[in-house]
Structure 1
Amino acid sequence: MAISSPSVFLLMVGGQIETGEFQEFDDIYCRYNFVYGQDWVITSGLEEGITQTARKSVDDRQKFVLNFPLDITFKSTNPYGWPQVVVHAYGHDVFGNDVVRGYGATHIPMVPGRHTRRIAMFVPESSSQFQKMTAWLMGRRPEFVDARVIAQGEGREVTRVRSQGFITLSFNIIMKDMKKLGYDVTPSDVANPTIPESSNAGTTSTPAQTPR
């Protein structure tokens, strides 16, 4: 009996939001959500979530250790609209209000295996000093109504922002049936091994052995 070829491929994402770096603050927590194209469907896992509140470590690193798990599986018919994860960090100001500490986004790695991403975070800025002072007094800092705009990019060129901190994420990526649908996800250093230069003239060089 002939075996039918697959019509979709699977992208399985595991990992965690590991640490945060915000030197000016003492406590943060993060929200996250995945943004993806119309041809993608979530088959299992959580599309969005919120971490616990973490305090800055007392050692020299001064990092916020979160270690919050990520677990989601997608299926799709084509790679257009490859998923991204959007992370937005929050904390408390001197008045006890929740204020945004940073926005950031990164694409899910497109190669199977373990990966680490260090995301540079940023916050929107007020358009004037008066608005900045008013926002500080009222406890309503500038923020995006929908954080998914970070991954879309439309209208971002007119947004005034300021860099503030980093978030580190780790990913464990598993893919299924991508090669059967004609997509090559082999890492470039494995698909095209380097050819060392020969020290003797006229000697034919052989490809370097691919590491296991």
Structure 2
Amino acid sequence: IQLDPAEPQRKEGAAARIRTLGGGLGGSTCFEVAVAGEIENIQLPEGSRSAPLVCRYQLVYGPDWALVQGPDSGVSQSACGPLGGGAGGASVGALSALNPFYVPTPPSVVINFPFNAVFKAQNAFGWPRVLVCIYATDWCNRRVIRGYSSVHVPTQPGRHVRWLRLYCPVASSWLSRFMGWLTGNRAEYIDPKTAAHSEGREVVRVRSGGRVKVVLNVLLKDTKPFNYSF
């Protein structure tokens, strides 16, 4: 998993914004958003859970925001899903026989990856988003993308549970898909932050599949002086 080489420059710019917002103008001129979250589990379609999965998150926010505390990205440990079969498969078959409308829930790959951050800003433009990228290993033990998704940090304080639908880009032709499968260079975004924005995504062919459970605990501070009522 390659990190963005321009990340140190962005962090230096964030530090300068922190000095401008918090030091030069005083703490009362900014409102704060604190989020403590956890990426709990991943649900992928049948046949995609056998390989080890890795989750990478990244916080995406506008130029008027400053990250005061916490890392802006992180990579989880590798995790594998259940092998399947056994008593679980028998119970699902029994429930399906009793209820023809029963839809079994796909098994989850437990991640339990925590993250936290504190933001400071003067306007709501560029409200922070949590970008999630799921990676797996292919038949040659090469890291390949399994899906992207993102969600805004809720504007209401409290505990929030979000299910993020995953999607990943698809090559334009079957030959490109076959060569990507053979060489391990499958279609993916050059900049993963593309999945957190709307510009340029309308021309990308994608395939959906799977979802991620994210729990977010949000705390707001000093929003009333800015006439923000959430």
What TM-score, normalized to structure 1? 0.82
Q: Which amino acid aligns with 1:80?
A: F
Q: How does 1:1-212 map to 2 (within 5 A)?
A: 6-23=28-45, 24-25=47-48, 26=50, 27-57=52-82, 60=88, 61-185=106-230
Structure 1 residues without counterparts, runs of 5 or longer: 186-212
- Compared CA separation, residues 127 and 15, structure 1 to 2 (3 A): same
> Aligned partners of 2:82, 2:155: CA distance in 1, in Å?
33
How much identity, in percent, do the aligned residues show?
37
Name the SS for the 1:148 alignment partner.
helix
The 8 Å contact of residues 46 and 72 in structure 1, kept in 2 or not, is answered as yes
Name the SS for the 2:202 alignment partner.
helix
Name the SS for the 2:131 alignment partner.
strand
Number of residue pairs matched?
182
Give 1 or 2: higher strand fraction. Answer: 1
> Aligned partners of 2:186, 2:43: CA distance in 1, in Å?
20
Aligned CA-pair RMSD? 1.5
What's the offset of the Cα at 1:58?
5.2
The 8 Å contact of residues 14 and 71 in structure 1, kept in 2 or not, is answered as yes
What TM-score, normalized to structure 2? 0.76
The 8 Å contact of residues 6 and 181 in structure 1, kept in 2 or not, is answered as no
- Compared CA separation, residues 157 and 12, structure 1 to 2 (3 A): same
> Aligned partners of 2:205, 2:120: CA distance in 1, in Å?
36
What's the offset of the Cα at 1:6?
2.0
Give 1 or 2: higher helix fraction. Answer: 2
> Aligned partners of 2:156, 2:27: CA distance in 1, in Å?
22
What's the offset of the Cα at 1:101?
0.5
Moved over 2 A (4+): 57-61
The 8 Å contact of residues 57 and 65 in structure 1, kept in 2 or not, is answered as no
Larger Rg: 1
> Aligned partners of 1:75, 1:5: CA distance in 2, in Å?
9
> Aligned partners of 1:58, 1:170: CA distance in 2, in Å?
26
